[in-house]
Structure formats: C-alpha cells, structure tokens
Structure 1
C-alpha cells in the first residue's frame, strides 16, 4: 500500500510539473463580474488541444494549460468586445484579469470570431460542442456523453446532467422513441453528433414555457450537416468463440434524417442477457397519457422486458422498434413508433429463509426455477397541429397488447415438512389509450389549456398450481386427493376519463394567477375464482368458503384549484390550494358501499436562484389516495403457494404530507459540482396489511389506521476536479418508521439504510479512461426483533486506446454482504473487450467476454418484518463472443 501511495503522489507531481494554471476575473469596465463568460485558449502549434473555461457567478475563471504550448486566449461575452491575450510557452504568468468593454450597439445578429465554443450557457440551455470532447474513437452516443462535464450515464442508459435526470430525449428537436434515453445513447452513432443541448424546464409548446413550470430536463441531439439528409447507423453480428453453447447476437441501428422526414429503426436479437430498453422507457412507451394528467396506474406487469438481465441461466431476446416523424404540412406533424419484443428467460434461485415470531417453523430452504416467455407489441401515433403561432393541438393514440406465460417450480423444505409446487401462469393484456390537448395564447397575459385523457385496459391472468401434498392448511378448503390441482382465473378491467381546464393569467412580470378545473373518473371490474380440480374430474369450488370476488368500482374526483405565482428578486414562490370532491362507490355480493368526501389539498413550491449555476428548490403538498379495487375485494384470493389475501371493503383514503428540498451548484472555477435532495413523506392515515403467519403460510388483509408512517430520504453527491482527475462522493440515506401488526402483535418498526460511495476517475482526453469506486452500505431493521447487514462493493472501469485503432475495455464488480452474525457471502463479476476499427473504415471487429471469471451465482441478504432471507441467484456462464460491425 505505501508503494501505491508513493506511485500515485509521483504521478500527481509529474502531472502538476507539466501543467500551468491561469486564473483571474472577467468583468466589465465598471468592475461588474460577467457570469458565464467564455474563455477559449487556442493553441498556436500542432498536436496541442484547445482549452476552455466558463466564468462563475463572481466572474472567476481557471484554465489548465500545457506549459510548453503557446496559446491565444480569447474572452467573449454577448454585448461586449472580445479581449485577446497571447500566452508564451513556459510563461511565468499565473493570474490575469480581463475587463471587457460594451459594444454600445444593439445588435440584431451577433457574429463571433471564434465560433468554436466548447460550452455555452444561456438561461435554461447548456450547449456542448462535441469536437471539444471527442477523440474520434467513440462508437455510440453514450461514450460521448460520459466525457461531457457534469453529464453521467448509468448502466441502464439513464442520463443525468448536474445531478438532474434527463426526462426527454430529442433528436433535431423531435422526440426520439417516446423520449426515452437508453435507445438513444446506445444506438445513435457518435460520429453523427455535432452538439448536445440540455434544456431545463422544457416544454414542447414554446409559448407555454413561461407559465408551465415544467420540471422536465430535455436533451436535444444536433446532428452534423452531412447527417441531416442521409442514411446512417450501423449493423453488428456476433457469434460465440471458445465454446459451443449457441450464444449469438445481431443488432442494427439505422437512421434517416431529412428536413421533413425522420425514420429510425432499431433491431436486436441476442441470448446473452442484453436488453435494448429500460423499464422507464417501457413506462414511457406504454404511457399514452398527457403530461398534464398523471397518476393513473397500469396493471400490466412488463418488468421482464427491461434492463440487462444476466442474473438468469438463460435469456433469449428479440426486439424491433420503428420511429417516424413526417411534416405533412407547415402546420401538421405526424409522428409515432412501433415496438415489438419477445423475451424468454429461465432463472434459478436458492433461498434460505429464517422466520421470526414463529413458534412452529424456524427456517425454510427454498429452490425456485422459472421459465418465462413474454410478448409485447405497441403502436403509437401522434398528431401535432399548429394552426398559428399562438395555438397548438395534440392528439395521441396508442394500442398495446402483451402476453406473459410462466412455468414455475418451487421446492420448499422446512423443519416440519417439504412440498413441491408447480405453477403455470398465463396472462393476456391489452389496452387502448388516447388524449387530446389544446393550448391557446390569447394575448401576452392570458393562456388556456384544455386536456382530455381516456384509457381502457383489460387483463386476464390465469394460474394453475400443482402439488403432491396438501398446503395452506386452514386457509383454503382442499379436499383430500392423491395430487392437488388448483385453478385460478382473474379478470381486471379498467376504464378512465380525465379532463382538465387550466387558465394562466400573467398579471405582470412578477405575479401570475393560474386557475384549474378538472374531473377524474375511473371505473374497474375485478373478478376472481379459485377451484380444485380433483383426480376423478370433479370440481371443488372454493366459492362456498368465501373465495371468489366480483367487484364493481367507481371513483370520481372533481376538483378546482387556484395557484398564485410571485417573484421577489431571485426568489420565486407558488402557493396553491385545491378543493377535491371524491365519490367512491363499490358493489360486491349485492351490497353497495359509498364514500363521499370533500377535502382541501394545499401545495407550495419555492425556488431561489442564487445565480445561473446555483439553485435551491422546495416543494410541499398534502394529498389523498383512495384504495384500488383489489384492496376492496372482501373475499379471499389465493396469491401464491404460501399466501392468501383478503381485501377490506371498508377502506377509505390514505392522507399524507410530502415535501422535498433540492440544492444544486456547479462551479467550474473551482471544479466543484454539488447536488443534494432531502425528501420527507408522512402518512397520517395509513393502509398497511395485517399479517397472520402459521408456519410458512401467510394471511394478509389491509387495515386503515391513524398510525403515522414517516419516510426520510437524503441523496447527495459532491464532485471535485483535482488537476486531471475527478473525485466524487455519493450518499443515499433512508429512515423509514411505521407500525406493523404480525400475529396480533403490533410493533413500531424502523427500517433504515445508508450507502456512501467514493469514485476516483481520470479526466484528461489524452489519458486512458479509468475509474475505481468503493461503496459501503448498511441496513438495519428494528422492531420486535433486530436485524442488520452491511455490504462492501468495489467497481472499476478501464478504457484505453493503443496503436491508434485498438480500444480495450475492462469492467469489474466485487460485492461482499455480511449479516448480523458476521457471516459473509461474496461474488465478483468482470467483463472485458478489445475492439479494432480504423478511423475511416466502416468495418469494426470486437472480441469480448462476459462474466470473465465464470462466476456461478450472486448472493445477497434481505429482511422484512418477519423473515430474513439469504438468497443465491445463478447467472449466465462465461461467454466469449466475436462480432463484426459495419458503419453506414
């Protein structure tokens, strides 16, 4: 370790000896700091790179320069005359202040001599010029984004900028596959990118931006001129080498962009566990809901389509997606997308469960094998009509169909007995969703929005359980037989119509008044039936034992709200008060149950902008949520091999306070970025399942209580650039306090977790990209029993280019879990690849290995109110692949 530290210090000394730092202040001739002024250091010799900086709110700048290079340093700011400084090689100059003189002219067009601006900051828009950050070896957009200051891309394709998540992805100003980020960052070729625009408070309707208070962060990809009317993209095919297990992949990303027509196609076939899109993308695709109306839940379970999943023993995926946009006229744009996905997965999990508060059974050893086949098809079309510059219409329609077939085998062995269960599940789901939006700017002071949203869903899951021994004794009415077969049929149908009328009144630049009138209507039909099919063919219907539900459900929410937005200097506030009239009616077993309530729901938003790169935001609301139809179904429902659920027809609304405080700061002068968020949620009326446990069998029913439930969460990160390195500290802390009843014993429980991580990585274009990180996690559960565990996670990534055309990558993850008895489990996983591609050649060749160490399984711990689990998940074996790609 001492040798490592000495080596690291030596490297730092070498770096600092070859670098020169120039600092100073940029101001006008009245000594007023010019925030966000651009400083460009252009090298006046070959084989040296351009340097740049942006002044902070105090006008300070910092330039990291090469000592042996001569630079022409230019400072520019809109409305001011540029100033130029020539810095000689090995100059002793360490500080220099620039004073810019105003042009004294009102310009209609500004022509800047140095058009090469690496980063330009305007009020809500941050623009990166790709030329300043790319080295030409990047293949996909993801590799470009990872090199942009303040931008991060996670393993699932999610993008954050200065700690805020990108919620809308655009290409040339138009939505890309519904606006999801993963399809864009992993498929758009890097050499097609010209600039990246990051737009905060994004709104598709230009005249709505000043009143909409949008929290969306959009990323707009600007293409190079030669890609704006051109077919580009790439295709790739790969086969397994070194073994003969049949692993393969084929991928295509093809794009055509023209002034009036854009078409994108993405296709993928592989059996190495690689998914093409994330669950967030899927939620966006299957949404079909206006952004002005949200909160409707979908009953379709489509998790199996999303995220890379190598935590299985088999994974076969087929995916195809088509996105299009067509300017039918100067006023009408027609766009849409189609998605098809087919996934087959087989998984194997071994679990040891330790039961708490249980006199009969102390442990359960459970092995579970799943085979899951899913099909998904989505078609979406959107009409964007602008009759004039002050009016906008949208119509969006979507159809979705999916099937989910599961074959599951569970072997459960306890200290009392053992059972084998086989389950066959089939689910057919379909939905139609549509909405229409109208926005009208009447004049500079008055704007109107009207939205109507409709959604229809129908889901019909069916389950069959097979076992050779009785189970759920005392909870289900089994008749004695040689083998036991249980059939369950569910039918869930949801229909909703929501409408909103909103008027925006701009009283003056510092005072706005918004009026909201709306109605949300939802109806559901929930039917279940369970029966035993005996060996002789006869039927034992469970309906006589209070099984089988038939529920009709209607919930109407009519509301009116007033929001007042006012600004005092840098401080913007928006208090609001909503009056809701809720009417809930259910009918089951011939009995009607009705709830009518009128409730006030206040809310408050406050934003303080210290400067363009530092902001503090606070938001609060009091809200109510009403139970779903399945929670109100007052007859028994079989959930799985060891669980029965019964709803509660007398449930009413949960009521909760929600608040969050968010702080962000980016200081390029000091190389510091800070992002922090503190959230608080308190339920004053809480619905929580009461649990009865006998052995491994569970009976659950929801109960509404006045027991408070509080949830605190803090998430924060701070990063600091130290010469040519970045050091980042992350934290994620949570404190959850609630009251739970298990076996008629009511306890106050605390479920807390703390995760702190440190990441160190290089931040210099001429060096290899290298990062190493460590994350320490703690989890505690305190109730009638106490449990805790901790985790230690190491990860490292390396990317290096050598001999001009070779790129080598290595990823490593190491995780250790330790329980309260100081017993540990451990696993590590590594992936590596080497790629060869000449800079101007369309062909690329890659050899890569997934799960390089051939790790057999992953291990983890978890706990709940009554069970501690030690789980072992088997994963895909080591795979060596060789692939060839062709770039159009």
Structure 2
C-alpha cells in the first residue's frame, strides 16, 4: 500500500501540477481586508445587509459583501486605492463613506437609521446590489460575477459564489440541489436544470433567483412540508417579446471517420406566450439531457404522491455516450406556455429522440464456487437503437387567490432494439451467443390536483392520479452449443434458438386528501387519507425452435408464467407541527391497511395486514445561515409483480430466475441528520449529512452457481440489513482562492446465500477529496481536484479497489476575443491482486468571437490523448471482474455558432 501511494506521487503529471501551483501562488497579490459590522440604532445586527465597495477611479472591479446573522462583513480590497463604501438595508437609510486603503487591514462599524415614513415602493438598483437576500429568496445580479465571455447560463452559474454545477448538469446552491428550474416564473421543460443551463444564452440572462422551501401554490408554503429548492432565471428586457438563441454546426474527422454536431436553441418569451425549441444531431456521444430529466419528463405524477417504478427503460437517452465505439443521436424538443386569461394558462412539451450506440468490451470474470474459482473470458459487442416520443400538457386554473386547480396529462411511446454478440470462453470451451431484444412500451398518465384555502386556519388538498402502461418485450438467444445445462429443457439440435415473449400491463390509481389546520402560528395539525391501487398482469412464454421446424415448449418443464397481481394500500394519518423558539418538530402517525392478491397457475393467494408507521421530522434553525435537521420513519414496502412469478423464466445466456408468490412486505427504519452552515463573513459554506437505513424484514435473492450458470430466487427473511452513509462538504474562500474539502463514507452489511452457504457480507466505500480554484472574474478560471477512493468487500471473497483521481480545468480569455478551455482527468486504480490500471481523458476548446459579432468560431478536441479504452475493476457477492471497454477515438471539430 505504501509503495503504491509513493508510486502515485512519483507520476510526472501530478508532480508538474503541484510545481506549477506553488510557482504561481507568489504572483497572486494579497489585498487588504476591510471588515466590520452593520447594525441598527439599537445595536441589533442587520442580517443580509449589502455592503458595496466601488473604486472611485473605476480601475478595479466592484467588491461586495453580505452581512451574516451577527451583522459581520468583510471585503478584500486593493491596497492604496480609494473606495466609496455603500451600506444598504431595506427599510433603513443608506449610508455612504469614502476610504483609502493602506498597508494594514481596516475596521469600521455601521449603524443604520430606520426610515420614518412608510415605504410605498422600493426600487432596487441592482448595479449596486449584486446579491439581495430576503427570507428564503436570494437574487443574484449575474454581471457582478461575470466578465462577458460566458457562452451559456452554465458558465455564469459556475462563477457565482456558493453555486456549483456538476458534470451531469445538476445545480447545487450552498450544497443543496436545485429541484425546480424556471425561466420567467414558468417551468422550463419539466423543471430540469441540464436543458436550461446548457442552452439558455448567457447574454440573455439578467438575474438569478433562488427560492428555498419553494411551493408552486403560494398559500401552501406556510403549511406544507416542502423542501424543494427552485431557481428562476430573469431575462433582460430586450430579450422579451423577441426570438433569441443560437445555431451551431460543426464538422471534423479522425482517420476515415467523419464526425459532426448540429445544435439549435431558440427561445421566445412574452408575458402571455413562451416557446422554446432545442434540437440536436451529433455522432460524438453528446447527450442532451440526464436520467433525472427523463424521470421528470415522464411527468403525470403529482409531487404529493409516491412515484412508482416505470416499465420504460430510458437510460440510453441519458448521459454522454463517450464510452462507446460509435454513437448517433437525434433530439428535438418543444416547450410552450400560453396564458389564456388571468385565471387559465396551459403549458407543455413534446420530445422526439433517436439514439444509436455500439459498444465493445472484454471481461475476465472469476465466479466463486464455495472455495474455488471458475473463470470466464467474455467478448461482448452490443448495438442498441431507441426511439422516444413523449408529450405532456398541463392546465392551470386559478379561480381566485384562495383556490387552484391543476390537470396534467402525459403520454409516451418507446421502442428499443438491442443486438448482442457474446463469445464466452469457459473451461477451454468457446460458446458463441447472439441475442436480440425488441420492446415497445407505451404509457398514459394523468393527474388532477385541487387546493383550497378556506380560511387562514383551514386549507385542503385533493389529488387523484391514474397511470396505464404496457410493454411487449421479445427476446431471442441463438447459439451453436447447449447452454444452461440442467436449468432449461433443451432438446439436442445442431443449432439452438430460444425465443421468449412477454406481455406486461400495469394500471395504477392513487388518491390523497389532506387537510391543514393552523391552530396558531406555532401549532399546526395535518390529517391525511389516501389510497394506492395497482393491478398488474405478466404473461411469459419460452420455447425452442428446432432446425426441423418443430417447437419445444418449455411450459411442460416448469416455465411459462401468467400472473395477475393486485395490491392496495389504504391509509390514514395525522401529523402535528409545533414550534418552540427556533425548534420545529413534526411527529406523525400513519396506519396502513395493505392487501396483496395474486392468481397464477390456478393458485390463489391473499395477504392482508394492518401496519403502524410512525415518523418524526425535527429542525433546529439557529439562524438563516445555520440549521440542523433530523428525519426518521418506520415504513414497509411490498414486492412488485415481477418478483412473484412462481415459474421459471430465462434472464440471460447464463441466468435463470424463479419468483416467489409467498413474498410479503419488507420493513425498515430510515433516519438522517443534516447540518448546514453558511458564513458570508468568513466566506464559508459547510454541510454534513449522516443517514441510517436498517431492514428488519428483507427480500434478497438466493443464488445457486454451476460454473458460470446462475439460478436465483427471492426469499423473505428476518436477516437484518444495515446501511450507514455519511458525507461532508466544506468550501472556504482564502484570499483569491476557494478551497473545497469533500468526504463520503458508506458501510453496508447484509446476509447473502450462495450455493446454500450463508455468509455475512460487508461493503465499505470511503472517498476523500480536495479542490482549489481561482475566484477573481478577471483572472483565468483554474481548478484542480484530487480524490482518493477505497472500496472493500468482505464475504465469500475479500476484495478491494483503491483509486486516485486528479482533474485539472482551465478557462482563460486572451487578446480580448479568444477563449481557451481545457480539462484533463486521470484515474489510477489498483485491486487486491496488485493489478494496476490507468485511464486518462482530456478535452480542449479554442473560441474566437468579437464582442459585438453574432458569429463564434470554435476548434474543439474531444479525447485529444486518443485513449481508446478504459479498464474497470468490480466485485459482487460471488464474482470479481476486470472489464476493458473500448471508447470513441480522438475527435477534432471545427464549429461555427450564430447568435440570434
């Protein structure tokens, strides 16, 4: 281990990073601090007061600070420079002084006087208030943080303190994830962040609003327990009632391959009508939206109800497909909103997308057979084509300020075609398999919501949701050798063709009625009555088609399933919310009447249980910048229909599954503790979370292995499963830099049975990371990240993986019109057999655009190191594998972008 760590730091690249980093630090001058407090005439701190430092000569940039809960502020100013200091707070008389910085830090305390006259209108001069904070709303003026070279909203967000953007398009504000995304107060493509931040032009954005504890229905905000964080983009006035956006096209090649990308983002916003179009065609593996966007796009489910598992497999449409040898993507999306009158508006979106990917991989797998190993070398080539069509429409009706109706209708059709070619070497015998899968899934979902505030004390909500979905997958396996001996009833033949037909139907109806009773400002009582009803049917048939045309139907040997499944959950519950000082508690009690009925192969089973499920949420809010939240619940989950089929079914070339009709409920405890603290005075953002999850009744698959062949079936046991998770994130401004520290820990214990051998398994994962980046907007944006991960498994086998990841990114503007961006990432991995692997990826982009020109020219290089493969090590309960995946080669594109 010590030798490995020493090896890591002897790598030339990492050594160069540290040398460069320490060489450039002396050239970054450290300015002078101007600090103090802002209070009222009685000495009470004025939290969120704005303190602005404007250079009198106008040479340097404007500096600002926001007072914390103690009224403290701190500004980093240039030495020997004259500043005009303006201090403002809503409802108080603004105060202005002039200072000239010297060689040492200066301290000043402001006392503002409350305005005597009533304020009828407040005009905020955002040029002088870069950030305005009021209760749960923060408003950022983007031009205070940017320098005009930004291309998209994403580039702007990355420069605002306290806002982070991850590689998948997720946005985090002070460690909390944005769950709702709006433009001009209207939902943008279902409320996902990726489509918005990567397509909205930077020059169209005026301000960013961040709203915590957000609720779309205003009069529910003070009574509902909503933890959503929303981001609303305010556009510049000249971008309203006007079509804006950009068009982009690019072409390039590598060897004999031609690569291209074409992208369009067009937007029209007016007080009554909003229309957005996003189109994309590329073969460079670029995805337009994420898996979270897809889940949100599927729509048709109210936030007041639990989202059910979907039959649709939309993973192919999400995340970048660069870990493939070939990829083609076509994406078209249209979002609209129309205000019919002051009471009715309609909005919706439509999406049509097609994806094609080709994958190649080589795997070396060791299957544990009690105390011995069975080895398999597998080559896999996969081609997948998917079509997606979906539409969503939402109707909002507000008859008055105390009532709201909402209807949402959604449909989608997905066609997936997969083709796999597998060459498997087992015990010196080569098995060749060809498998294909065709599946058409259709879905219709709709829900209706009604909210009514009867008085200041009484409010009600009623929600009804209906979903119908149908899937008809067809699977075919073709091989020249018998396989799964003893598990499937094959007849001897010169060639083997197995066909599996499935038909799956699900129909779900959910409803809930909630009543909110505000006894007083510190005591609320909530009551709930609800029902969830699901009806499913699964029909599966498997057969062998012989070369002479005869059919070998597997149904006579225990295969073939025809399941009718009905599940209902009728529940009542009450929650009591009370506040003691800064401490808010919300205990709740729920009673659920669960009924589960199945019918298959002339067997009828019924189970009914009345179960008690308590919960408790407690929040201690020390101030607007510091809070501690505890959450606990005891709950039950029941198996879906797919686990309850009682006959055998073929899953893959080496796996057979048999369900269990006797499965009932799993029971678990879930608890979490979350702490967050923000200090604008110290430039500090900190959050930590710990969660505990324990199952006392557990459904887990038992596994029988024979060589590479697997037979699995689920069993309900009283074996406990425990999962501890903890994470911590710290972000601190130090002079001209922001330094981040991250850590994550996961510990999971459970009992697994393999080949009738019962084993206690333990999985642990630890990750530690550090990052540093520059902060002045006139400097190059440079960020360096390092993380180390330890993964260990203890069970039938003991396995471990240790990985180091280093990434470097730079964004610099030079000669006024040129911008260069680049990122480099390298990962080193070592397993318990001391096998080492390295993966490096690097991308670069050079842009040229004159300030007033609508044209932007780009030269981009994707994977410019031309690393053609990645090596991944993994382990599970009974196998250890090393997989080499071939990836797309170097792609160089020349692109032109036209801004409308």
* TM-score when normalising by structure 2: 0.97
Aligned partner of 1:685 in structure 2 is 697
Offset of residue 257 of structure 1: 0.4
* Equivalent of 1:715 in 727, 733, 753: 727
1:872 aligns with 2:867: no
Offset of residue 302 of structure 1: 1.1
* Equivalent of 2:71 in 59, 79, 98: 59
- Alpha-carbon distance between aligned partners in 2 of 1:163 and 1:876, rounded to the nearest angstrom: 34
**Cα contact 2:369–2:707 (8 A) shared by 1:** no
Q: Give the match's secondary structure for 1:536.
A: coil
Aligned partner of 1:309 in structure 2 is 321
Q: Which moved more, 1:235-244 or 1:547-556?
A: 235-244
Offset of residue 38 of structure 1: 0.8
Aligned partner of 1:373 in structure 2 is 385
Q: Give the match's secondary structure for 2:485.
A: coil
Aligned partner of 2:809 in structure 1 is 797
* Equivalent of 1:862 in 874, 882, 886: 874
Offset of residue 122 of structure 1: 1.2
Question: For 1:529-568, what aligned pairs fall within 5 Å after superposition?
Answer: 529-568=541-580
Q: Give the match's secondary structure for 2:295.
A: helix
- Alpha-carbon distance between aligned partners in 2 of 1:135 and 1:196, rounded to the nearest angstrom: 16
Aligned partner of 2:511 in structure 1 is 499
Q: Give the match's secondary structure for 1:487.
A: strand
Aligned partner of 1:355 in structure 2 is 367
Aligned partner of 2:284 in structure 1 is 272
- Alpha-carbon distance between aligned partners in 1 of 2:711 and 2:213, rounded to the nearest angstrom: 47
- Alpha-carbon distance between aligned partners in 2 of 1:792 and 1:76, rounded to the nearest angstrom: 47
Change (3 A) 1:5 1:866: closer
Offset of residue 92 of structure 1: 5.0
Change (3 A) 1:564 1:484: same
Q: Give the match's secondary structure for 1:210.
A: coil
- Alpha-carbon distance between aligned partners in 1 of 2:21 and 2:433, rounded to the nearest angstrom: 57
- Alpha-carbon distance between aligned partners in 2 of 1:137 and 1:111, rounded to the nearest angstrom: 29
1:417 aligns with 2:426: no
- Alpha-carbon distance between aligned partners in 1 of 2:128 and 2:640, rounded to the nearest angstrom: 56
Q: Give the match's secondary structure for 1:638.
A: strand
User: How many residue pairs get matched?
Assistant: 887
Q: Give the match's secondary structure for 1:211.
A: coil
Q: Give the match's secondary structure for 1:283.
A: helix
Question: For 1:16-415, what aligned pairs fall within 5 Å after superposition?
Answer: 16-17=29-30, 19-90=31-102, 92=104, 94-111=106-123, 116-241=128-253, 243-358=255-370, 362-415=374-427
Offset of residue 361 of structure 1: 5.1
Offset of residue 36 of structure 1: 1.3
- Alpha-carbon distance between aligned partners in 2 of 1:686 and 1:321, rounded to the nearest angstrom: 42
Change (3 A) 1:245 1:146: same
**Cα contact 1:513–1:563 (8 A) shared by 2:** yes
Aligned partner of 1:827 in structure 2 is 839
* Equivalent of 1:577 in 589, 596, 599: 589
Aligned partner of 2:526 in structure 1 is 514
**Cα contact 1:656–1:684 (8 A) shared by 2:** yes
- Alpha-carbon distance between aligned partners in 1 of 2:353 and 2:60, rounded to the nearest angstrom: 48
- Alpha-carbon distance between aligned partners in 2 of 1:468 and 1:244, rounded to the nearest angstrom: 35
Q: Give the match's secondary structure for 2:788.
A: strand
Aligned partner of 1:15 in structure 2 is 28
* Equivalent of 2:716 in 704, 711, 714: 704
- Alpha-carbon distance between aligned partners in 1 of 2:399 and 2:762, rounded to the nearest angstrom: 57
**Cα contact 1:311–1:875 (8 A) shared by 2:** yes
- Alpha-carbon distance between aligned partners in 1 of 2:421 and 2:254, rounded to the nearest angstrom: 33
1:648-685, Cα deviation, whole Å (9 max, x unpaired): 00001000011111111111111111011111100000
**Cα contact 1:229–1:258 (8 A) shared by 2:** yes
1:621 aligns with 2:633: yes
1:281-317, Cα deviation, whole Å (9 max, x unpaired): 0000013101111231101111000011100000000
Q: Give the match's secondary structure for 1:280.
A: helix
1:651 aligns with 2:694: no
- In structure 1, runs of 5+ residues without a counterpart are none
**Cα contact 1:145–1:152 (8 A) shared by 2:** yes
Offset of residue 753 of structure 1: 0.5
**Cα contact 2:576–2:588 (8 A) shared by 1:** yes
1:796-850, Cα deviation, whole Å (9 max, x unpaired): 1111100001000111110111000221011101001100011111000000010
Change (3 A) 1:425 1:850: same
- Alpha-carbon distance between aligned partners in 1 of 2:21 and 2:809, rounded to the nearest angstrom: 18
How much is the aligned-residue C-alpha RMSD, in angstroms?
1.5
Q: Give the match's secondary structure for 1:852.
A: coil
**Cα contact 1:358–1:694 (8 A) shared by 2:** no
**Cα contact 2:733–2:739 (8 A) shared by 1:** yes
Change (3 A) 1:553 1:89: same
- Alpha-carbon distance between aligned partners in 2 of 1:31 and 1:386, rounded to the nearest angstrom: 45
- In structure 2, runs of 5+ residues without a counterpart are 1-13
1:855-879, Cα deviation, whole Å (9 max, x unpaired): 0101111100110011111100000
* TM-score when normalising by structure 1: 0.98
**Cα contact 1:361–1:415 (8 A) shared by 2:** no
**Cα contact 1:243–1:880 (8 A) shared by 2:** no
- Alpha-carbon distance between aligned partners in 2 of 1:677 and 1:491, rounded to the nearest angstrom: 43
**Cα contact 1:360–1:695 (8 A) shared by 2:** no
1:809 aligns with 2:821: yes
Q: Give the match's secondary structure for 1:291.
A: coil
**Cα contact 2:300–2:410 (8 A) shared by 1:** yes
